[in-house]
């Protein structure tokens, strides 16, 4: 009986929603920190992107992060690449966050949101 209770407590859908959400937030945060912060933290800000500051904001448009992650544009090919499970965890977190805290505008970025509109040929 003790084993069944232990197993049940480790299944996300049987726990309180907030517990699973907090675990998802922490996992996504760890993944982003590992793969992104070397180039996109407060000190480096490559491409003028400070993800460390961006992720602290209450609301931001995660579309660029989502797109770069799914298309493989980021991290660059010469850097460690996230596994499929890690990409899924970050994608689920971005989707959840977008639903809970929609950006002010999905078509434009303000100067202080940390993201620049994509420039495509």
| pLDDT tens, N- to C-terminus, the chain (121 residues) | 444 433 334 434 333 444 445 666 889 989 999 999 999 999 999 999 998 888 888 778 888 888 999 899 999 999 999 999 999 999 999 988 888 877 776 454 455 555 555 554 4
Predicted pLDDT of residue 16:
42
Give me the domain span that covers residue 87. 20-100
Domain count across the chain: 1
Tokens standing for residue 92: 């689920």
**Does 9 fall in a domain?**
no
What's the pLDDT at 114?
54
Distance CA 67, CA 62 (A): 9
**Gap between the Cα atoms of 97 and 75, Å rounded:** 21
Q: Is residue 34 part of a domain?
A: yes
The answer as to whether 107 is a domain residue is no
Q: What is the pLDDT of residue 113?
A: 52
Secondary structure class of 74 (helix, strand, coil)? coil
Q: What is the pLDDT of residue 22?
A: 61
CA–CA gap between residue 41 and residue 111 (Å, rounded): 17
Q: Report yes or no on 84 lying in a domain.
A: yes
Does 61 fall in a domain? yes
Please give the structure tokens belonging to residue 3: 């084993």
Residue 38 within a domain: yes
**Assigned domain for 25 exists:** yes
Helix axes 63-71, 84-100, angle to 10 degrees: 160
DSSP state, residue 14: G
Whether 11 is in a domain gets the answer: no
């Amino acid at each position: 009986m003790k084993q069944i209770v232990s197993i049940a407590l480790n299944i996300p859908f049987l726990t309180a929603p907030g517990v699973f959400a907090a675990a998802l937030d922490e996992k996504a945060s760890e993944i982003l920190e590992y793969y992104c912060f070397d180039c996109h933290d407060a000190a480096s800000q490559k491409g003028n992107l400070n993800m460390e500051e961006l992720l602290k904001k209450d609301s931001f448009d995660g579309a660029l992060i989502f797109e770069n992650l799914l298309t493989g544009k980021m991290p660059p090919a010469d850097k460690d690449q996230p596994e499929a499970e890690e990409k899924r965890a970050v994608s689920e977190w971005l989707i959840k966050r977008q639903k809970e805290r929609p950006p002010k505008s999905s078509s434009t970025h303000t100067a202080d949101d940390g993201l620049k509109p994509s420039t495509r040929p």
